[in-house]
Amino acid sequence: MSEDDIFDEDFDPMRDLEELKMFASIADAHITSLLNNQKVLVESINELRKDILRLTQILNEFVGEDLDDEID
């Protein structure tokens, strides 16, 4: 804050504070949404890994050999 701001009639520290509070609230909501999205993605990936493991086991039983070595 400069000396000019103190004497500037348009300078309103309360308005600036309210704008900062609004920004913080919106940013907080956005971060919460991102964290929820991350949680859903991790859960989905874990379920897909379980499905892939089950399918690999079924294929191993069907084919009668270990497919893990060929996949890697």
Q: Per the domain annotation, does 38 fall within a domain?
A: yes
> pTM of the predicted model, to two decimals?
0.60
Q: Per the domain annotation, does 15 fall within a domain?
A: no
pLDDT of residue 39: 98
Q: Per the domain annotation, does 1 fall within a domain?
A: no
Is residue 67 within 8 Å of residue 56, measured between CB atoms?
A: yes
pLDDT tens per residue across span 14-50: 999 999 999 999 999 999 999 999 999 999 999 999 9
Q: Per the domain annotation, does 20 fall within a domain?
A: no
Decide if pLDDT at 3 tops 70: no
Q: Per the domain annotation, does 14 fall within a domain?
A: no
Instruction: Tell me the residue range of the domain where 59 lies.
Output: 32-72
Q: Per the domain annotation, does 18 fall within a domain?
A: no
Decide if pLDDT at 68 tops 80: no
Is residue 60 within 8 Å of residue 52, measured between CB atoms?
A: no
- Reference 33, options 44, 41, 21; nearest CA is 41
Q: Per the domain annotation, does 72 fall within a domain?
A: yes
Domain count, the chain: 1
Is residue 66 within 8 Å of residue 60, measured between CB atoms?
A: yes
Is residue 56 within 8 Å of residue 68, measured between CB atoms?
A: yes
- E strands, the chain, are none
Is residue 11 within 8 Å of residue 5, measured between CB atoms?
A: yes
pLDDT of residue 41: 98
